[in-house]
Amino acid sequence: MKLNIEQSKLAEILETAYLAISPKPTDPILGNILLIANEDGMVSATGTNLNLTIHTTTTANVETSGQVALPAKLLTDTINNVRGEITLEVENQACIITHNSGKCRLIGGKPDEFPTLPKGENPIEVNLSAKKLQAALEGTLYCTNGDETKLVLTGVNFKIDTNKWQAASTNGHKLALVTGSLDSEYSEPIDFTVPGKSLGELNKILSQSADTSVCNILLSNKTIEFSLPNTKVISRLLEGEYPKINSLIPRTFEYEFTLERKGFESALKRVSYLAERKQKVVKILWELEATQATLYTEATDIGDAVDSVLMKPATSHSENISIGLNIDYLLEGLKHISTDEIVVRCNKPTQPVIICPMGGLLNQLYLVMPVEIKQGFEKVNNQSTKTEASTQPEPSTEEVTDIAQATNDSENSQIETSSLIAKDTTKGKSTSRSSRTKKEVATA
Amino acid sequence: MKLNIEQSKLAEILETAYLAISPKPTDPILGNILLIANEDGMVSATGTNLNLTIHTTTTANVETSGQVALPAKLLTDTINNVRGEITLEVENQACIITHNSGKCRLIGGKPDEFPTLPKGENPIEVNLSAKKLQAALEGTLYCTNGDETKLVLTGVNFKIDTNKWQAASTNGHKLALVTGSLDSEYSEPIDFTVPGKSLGELNKILSQSADTSVCNILLSNKTIEFSLPNTKVISRLLEGEYPKINSLIPRTFEYEFTLERKGFESALKRVSYLAERKQKVVKILWELEATQATLYTEATDIGDAVDSVLMKPATSHSENISIGLNIDYLLEGLKHISTDEIVVRCNKPTQPVIICPMGGLLNQLYLVMPVEIKQGFEKVNNQSTKTEASTQPEPSTEEVTDIAQATNDSENSQIETSSLIAKDTTKGKSTSRSSRTKKEVATA
């Protein structure tokens, strides 16, 4: 194998293939990137960790065709640090890389030990705009469960029904859902879950793709292949049934508030320093007449804070509502919304709160569970600052409600999907606090 | 205490005082910043970890004078996240901070428990341009020993003699020296060592100071006070005699090479990936006739690299010289030189190599010890690439030479300062390799 190639082109395919390389490969050959040069002037780079395979191609001046498996990190680092025209020449398992101020020799693995590209049988084909797929990943990946023992919850679940599609993820306390429509119609419903890690790498590749690119998806029994111009991303699918996400989302809402995303984010950050370290709870009082949301936090023996942001209510209710929420969860949701304005929807203080972008490329929804807050929560604010806080009631102890539990009105009863989602997570959380009294959050 | 102040002014003094706060204070009061408001409209912020104290002032609209000690991180984070005019009002030990969208209450420590500013007796006064002091710190801090058990070596040593001053640091394998002159003359030589940590914080403050600022230094028996407009940095001094740095630096050099700093840096980075992981050695062949420096690295079973940069030799010698050096040490030295061109000076392959900026604000010098390199070092390069390497001899196994050891020509003898510098460091290093044969580095 011998070829000449512009550094930027080689660096690009290496960076892409490198995304699939595990930092601790289970087999030494998986620490390599496979380079294949064809006489038609195409060069491909492939990286794999067996769960995820990335194969990408570019053009080069190929003098002699051939293949070589070279240490992925070393090769990528080396090529990233040279400039101009590069020559690659392979003799046995070694590759000589010549650039304008020197050369280096890398000793590689045996190319025939490198795994072949996985091929699924009888695939179903779906086409989706690359930018919409990327928006769907941005809007869901952050709600997957990072804990590898949670299996199916570590992935993003996709559903296709006639010409509608949706992507969803949840870790039991927060949930994200993105929906859109397709150009084709599918007669049978399709349901599959892709590992979050694979999608995280796909997301990086999609972010580099052109606005007009289409992603061709081939779905088989055990694998999924995402094809973009010059790049294929092939991932295994996660086994197991995904929780019935849609039944967890309330269909009607008693309250709806529109507010400016950045202003809300800043106010949350300001009060976050005075929330308890462990369970960062903010109590938000939605004041209908004053058209403002007032945020309260309190940290024992340290202090407390109150802040407010303007909002537009759209509700027939005349009573204010006060809800306890985890600040980190809220900030995480807001970080993954790109529109200037957001819509917050809720019912009772113990039921899920929904945050949606106002506009945007796709229908997007973030669901977060409320936290019960303790009696006398903003007492210190009242005593010391004589602010708007003085008219507030005083709710209860902190306890993040589990999604499945809270979607049902009657306390402690569980709806059908609860065991699928976070039964053990909930148990783990409650044990340490089981001695505390839980109280209903009071509404103002 | 009650005052109004612009957020940016309060944030600035808090950020500065915060530099002295330990992340794990030995006494709870040391986790606070002391704020003092005087009726003359001055507000000061003081932070201390007992070794280092920072006291800084600004102006404010003070309604009532007073003082308060508030949790440093919480206060700084809070003030950094609000905007516009802020009101601070203290009642007992709590401070109410009111800003344009809300307020918060912080509970502090007892201000009378806060340590008073250290005051040295009979201080000697020295004045130095703030920018020159900053350049001296930039040029020396990176060679201090980070190991707290090394006591005096964790600091930067300063010497003043008549109207000359110098700052020096060493960890036993590398050494930095910066020299300059003073406007005043001192009849008695002055010698003191300031902890690197204190100087690191001082450096941050100096980097914000105006180009024309003068730093007034008051040196006492146990403490040193650096005064800048509005800010005082007071540090304890390190006890113990600092190694006699100047005797370790060769006075004459057989070789001198001028080369472009960035090009040298890039070439070193390129070959660094193919240097052995643990002891990243590069062999540099200074080719007088070809006016280039050729860099060789080699990693067993992985590969090897060769690169070259142009250089201008200034030497009466006609023989090339080949020296083994640690790449990380070289890159670290180059990172702390700001001029476009550098000068490399050396004698024998076992003796210290000196790197200086070509020009610059102060006289600056970096000394790094060579590494012995093993026989057949760039053999693979020769066989496989048929480059310039083919004319090279083949040196020996890797061993960083200790500064003290190498300044003396005769092998293994030690000069007077060697025990002060790195006796135990050297021992630690050699133990693991004592079974290998050491060989003299061959010169080409």
Report yes or no on A338 lying in a domain.
yes
pLDDT of amino acid B54: 98
* Residue-wise pLDDT tens digits, A204-236: 999 998 888 999 999 999 999 999 999 999 999
* Residue-wise pLDDT tens digits, B61-90: 999 999 999 999 999 999 999 999 999 999
Both B108 and B128 in a single domain?
no
Does B388 have pLDDT greater than 80? Answer: no
Which of A203, A221, A240 represents a domain boundary (last residue)? A240
Type of residue at A217 = I
Both A360 and A426 in a single domain?
yes
Per 3-state DSSP, chain B is made up of helix, strand and coil in percentages (nearest 5) of 25, 40, 35
pLDDT of amino acid A8: 97
CA–CA distance, B387 with B394 (Å, rounded to integer) = 15
CA–CA distance, A249 with A231 (Å, rounded to integer) = 36
pLDDT of amino acid B259: 96
pLDDT of amino acid B403: 62
Q: Which of B91, B94, B385 is facing A103, going by the closest CB pair? A: B385
Rounded mean pLDDT of chain B?
85
Both A205 and A224 in a single domain?
yes
Report yes or no on A385 lying in a domain.
yes
> What backbone torsions phi and psi does residue A283 show, to the nearest 5 degrees?
-100, 125
Which of A240, A262, A286 represents a domain boundary (last residue)? A240
Indicate the angle between helix axes A130-138 and A196-207, nearest 10 degrees.
130
pLDDT of amino acid B104: 94
Highest mean pLDDT among A114-123, A138-147, A384-393, B16-25: B16-25
Which of A72, A94, A113 represents a domain boundary (last residue)? A113
Chain A nearest-CA distance from B304, in A, is: 5
Chain A nearest-CA distance from B16, in A, is: 20
Both A74 and A216 in a single domain?
no
CB-based contacts of B19: which residues, under 8 Å, 6+ apart? B47, B54, B201, B204, B205
**Residue B379 vs residue B22, higher pLDDT:** B22
pLDDT of amino acid A376: 52
Q: Which of A96-100, A105-109, A118-122, B98-102 has the lowest mean pLDDT?
A: A118-122
Give percent above pLDDT 90 in chain A: 74
Both B233 and B357 in a single domain?
no
* Mean of pLDDT values over B268-291: 93
* Residue-wise pLDDT tens digits, A345-367: 999 999 999 999 998 878 999 99
Report yes or no on A118 lying in a domain.
no
Token digits for B225?
């006070």
ipTM (interface predicted TM): 0.80
User: Under a CB-based contact definition with an 8 Å cutoff, are residues B237 and B193 in contact?
Assistant: yes
Structure confidence at residue A279 as a pLDDT band (50, 70, 90) = confident
User: CB B173: neighbour CB atoms within 10 A?
Assistant: 22
**Residue A393 vs residue B77, higher pLDDT:** B77
Which own/partner pairs from B110-113 qualify as long-range (CB within 8 Å, at least 24 positions apart)? Answer: B110/B29, B110/B69, B111/B34, B111/B67, B111/B68, B111/B69, B113/B29, B113/B69
pLDDT of amino acid B402: 60
Q: What's the structural domain count of chain A?
A: 3
User: Under a CB-based contact definition with an 8 Å cutoff, are residues B114 and B25 in contact?
Assistant: no
Structure confidence at residue A317 as a pLDDT band (50, 70, 90) = confident
Both A289 and A158 in a single domain?
no
Structure confidence at residue B381 as a pLDDT band (50, 70, 90) = very low
User: Under a CB-based contact definition with an 8 Å cutoff, are residues A332 and A366 in contact?
Assistant: no
Both B377 and B253 in a single domain?
yes
pLDDT of amino acid A395: 39
Both B411 and B264 in a single domain?
yes
Chain A nearest-CA distance from B307, in A, is: 4
* Stretch (H or E) spanning A381: helix A379-385
**Angle at B72 (CA atoms; ends B69, B78), nearest 5 degrees:** 110
Does B226 have pLDDT greater than 70? Answer: yes
Does A438 have pLDDT greater than 70? Answer: no
Does A414 have pLDDT greater than 70? Answer: no
CA–CA distance, B280 with B296 (Å, rounded to integer) = 11
Chain A residues within 8 Å of chain B (Cβ atoms): 71, 74, 77-78, 81-82, 91, 94, 96, 98, 101-107, 266-267, 269-271, 273-274, 295, 301-309, 380-381, 384-385, 387
Report yes or no on B199 lying in a domain.
yes
Q: Which of A98, A103, A311, A327 to probe the B interface (max B CBs under 10 A)?
A: A103
Does A245 have pLDDT greater than 60? Answer: yes
Full residue range of the structural domain in which residue A228 is found? 124-162+184-240
Report yes or no on A119 lying in a domain.
no
Q: Which of A77, A106, A274 is facing B303, going by the closest CB pair? A: A106
CA–CA distance, A286 with A315 (Å, rounded to integer) = 12
pLDDT of amino acid A416: 25
Report yes or no on B107 lying in a domain.
yes
Highest mean pLDDT among A346-360, B46-60, B274-288, B402-416: B46-60
Which chain B residues are closer than 8 Å to A277 by Cβ? none
Does B321 have pLDDT greater than 60? Answer: yes
Strands of A231-236's sheet in order across: A66-71, A32-37, A42-48, A52-59, A231-236, A223-228, A214-219, A124-129
Which chain A residues are closer than 8 Å to B308 by Cβ? 101-102
User: Under a CB-based contact definition with an 8 Å cutoff, are residues B196 and B169 in contact?
Assistant: yes
pLDDT of amino acid A431: 32
Report yes or no on A178 lying in a domain.
no
Chain A nearest-CA distance from B64, in A, is: 18
Rounded mean pLDDT of chain A?
85
Both B95 and B130 in a single domain?
no
pLDDT of amino acid B401: 55
Q: Which of A146-150, A219-223, B16-20 has the lowest mean pLDDT?
A: A146-150
Both B130 and B144 in a single domain?
yes
CATH (domain of B16): 3.10.150.10
Both B105 and B85 in a single domain?
yes
CA–CA distance, B198 with B48 (Å, rounded to integer) = 11
CA–CA distance, A42 with A66 (Å, rounded to integer) = 11
Both A280 and A367 in a single domain?
yes
Return the closest-CA partner of residue B126 out of B191, B47, B222. B191
Report yes or no on B174 lying in a domain.
no
* Mean of pLDDT values over A131-158: 92
* Residue-wise pLDDT tens digits, B104-161: 999 999 999 999 998 888 999 999 999 999 999 999 999 999 887 878 999 999 999 9
| Cα–Cα separations (whole angstroms), residue B2 to A306, A389, B5, B203 | 20, 22, 10, 33
Which chain A residues are closer than 8 Å to B96 by Cβ? 384-385
pLDDT of amino acid B372: 85
| Helix, coil or strand: residue B125 | strand
Nearest CA in chain B to A295: B102
